[in-house]
Amino acid sequence: MQRLIPVLNKDHVPLHLISVINTLLTAAKEISHRLHQGSLAGTLGSTLDENIQGETQKKLDVVSNQLIKNMLLETNLVRAVASEEEDDIVEGNPDAKYLVAYDPLDGSSNIDINGSVGTIFSILEVPDHPAEGKDMFLQTGDEQVAAGYILYGPSAMLALTTGQGVRMYTLDHTVGEFLLTVDQVKVPKDTREFAINMSNSRFWNKPIQSYIADLIQGEEGPRKKRFNMRWNAAMVSDVHRVLCRGGLFTYPADCRNKKKPCKLRLLYEANPMSYLVEQAGGRCSTGYERIMSLQPTDIHERVSVIMGSSNEVEVCLDYHKKIPCDRFDV
Ligand code: AFP
């Protein structure tokens, strides 16, 4: 089986970008090791702190964030990092060209129950136009030069795109290498599987309520076929399933907290996952706009997300076109 670096060389990926990706994978191997040790590593459970998102930080959130941040900045190839666990960006080498936005441990609520979690990353270049501090990161998802995730499941798997399709690699613990296991990922255009947190249904807007209600009616409803549902409470795990066998994943805006109608973050969750899904032939939208066309206004900006099998996403977007509603995410 092919190792990662020869594959990226064949794709003519710039050497410094390969080095940044490889550094992320070195951190991921350490995170994978600590996760697989579980309680034995003494890193389960929560800290007494909250991150900028207002979420209680798990010990492994903090450990994973430090590992990734320190390793990336030590390469001297990274101009700055933006992390879910950092209030502001952390500056690196002022002459470097790469920016890395990442969620160090997505799905943290699964850590203490031995559930799947993952690291999501998005790599940009410092913009040509003069930009300082966090403004450097305020680029559309179309500007990404690489994106991916490492899913720490029964096996540790990397899904990666540098704009030439999506490949998946599996960590071989004996040699400590990510080996190519899926060469060109393709998301099936149709699906009978959707992923959503149903407990929020009374807070959704009308288009999503109507779309989901029709899915649940199955053969007797307007879709005239039965659908299945999954919800792993970790975007990395749910989107990995979509990449592997199709499906529609959505975390729509809701009116639980009018100040924070959306949950998923644009820069280090929605954009990197959208890059992967679109490169694999899928479709990604907020319900009204293509996600990777959005112009970010803040590094921790949140968006509503609908992504996956292109024909099914199209059906969901039709509900948004036809049903007038009060948008919470504007
Ligand atoms: P945590 O990292 O705080 O567990 O949040 C994970 C996440 O951002 C995303 O990975 C999941 O799809 C979604 O939130 C789960 O949200 P719910 O807990 O509301 O289902």
pLDDT tens for the chain, 330 residues: list them. 899 999 999 999 999 999 999 999 999 999 999 999 988 877 777 777 777 777 777 789 999 999 999 999 999 999 999 999 999 999 999 999 999 999 999 999 999 899 999 999 999 999 998 889 999 999 999 999 999 999 999 999 999 999 999 999 999 999 999 999 999 999 999 999 999 999 999 999 999 999 999 999 999 999 999 999 999 999 999 999 999 999 999 999 999 998 999 999 999 999 999 999 999 999 999 999 999 999 999 999 999 999 999 999 999 999 999 999 878 887
Do 95 and 17 share a domain, yes or no? yes
CB 44 within 8 A of CB 62: no
pTM beyond cutoff 0.85: yes
Do 175 and 198 share a domain, yes or no? no
Pocket flag, ligand 1, residue 104 (CB < 6 Å): no
- CA-nearest residue, atom 12 of ligand 1: 235
In 46-134, which ranges are continuous DSSP H helix? 59-74
The residue to mutate among 31, 109, 237, 266, having the most atoms of ligand 1 within 8 angstroms of its beta carbon, is 109
Give the count of beta carbons closer than 10 Å to the beta carbon of residue 290.
Answer: 15
Which CATH number fits the domain that encloses residue 173?
3.30.540.10
Do 51 and 84 share a domain, yes or no? yes
The residue to mutate among 113, 264, 269, 271, having the most atoms of ligand 1 within 8 angstroms of its beta carbon, is 264
In a domain, 300, yes or no: yes
Rounded CA-CA distance 20/182 in Å is 22
Do 59 and 164 share a domain, yes or no? yes
Structural domain total, the chain: 2
In a domain, 330, yes or no: no
- CA-nearest residue, atom 6 of ligand 1: 107
Do 215 and 125 share a domain, yes or no? no
Give the count of beta carbons closer than 10 Å to the beta carbon of residue 63.
Answer: 17
The residue to mutate among 59, 112, 197, having the most atoms of ligand 1 within 8 angstroms of its beta carbon, is 197
pLDDT tens figures, 112-157: 899 999 999 999 999 998 889 999 999 999 999 999 999 999 999 9
In a domain, 203, yes or no: yes
What was the pLDDT predicted at 40? 85
Task: Give the range of the structural domain holding residue 96, as residue numbers without chain letter.
Answer: 4-182
Give the count of beta carbons closer than 10 Å to the beta carbon of residue 218.
Answer: 14
Do 226 and 84 share a domain, yes or no? no
Give the count of beta carbons closer than 10 Å to the beta carbon of residue 39.
Answer: 10
Do 151 and 255 share a domain, yes or no? no
Do 49 and 144 share a domain, yes or no? yes
Inter-CA distances, 1 with 7, 22, 170, 173, Å: 11, 18, 10, 14
Closest ligand 1 atom to 265 CA: 8
CB 200 within 8 A of CB 166: no
Question: Which residues 6+ apart lie within 8 Å of 220 measured at CB?
Answer: none
CB 320 within 8 A of CB 288: yes
Do 39 and 178 share a domain, yes or no? yes
Which CATH number fits the domain that encloses residue 248?
3.40.190.80
Do 238 and 297 share a domain, yes or no? yes
CB 280 within 8 A of CB 158: no
What was the pLDDT predicted at 52? 73
The sheet with strand 305-308 has its strands ordered as 228-230, 193-195, 248-251, 305-308, 283-285
Do 264 and 117 share a domain, yes or no? no
Q: Point out the domain boundary residue: 161, 182, 203.
A: 182
CB 34 within 8 A of CB 62: no
Q: How many angstroms does the Cα of residue 251 sit away from the middle of ligand 1?
A: 9
Q: How many angstroms does the Cα of residue 13 sit away from the middle of ligand 1?
A: 32
Q: Point out the domain boundary residue: 150, 182, 214.
A: 182
Token pair belonging to 327: 């948008």
Q: How many angstroms does the Cα of residue 306 sit away from the middle of ligand 1?
A: 15
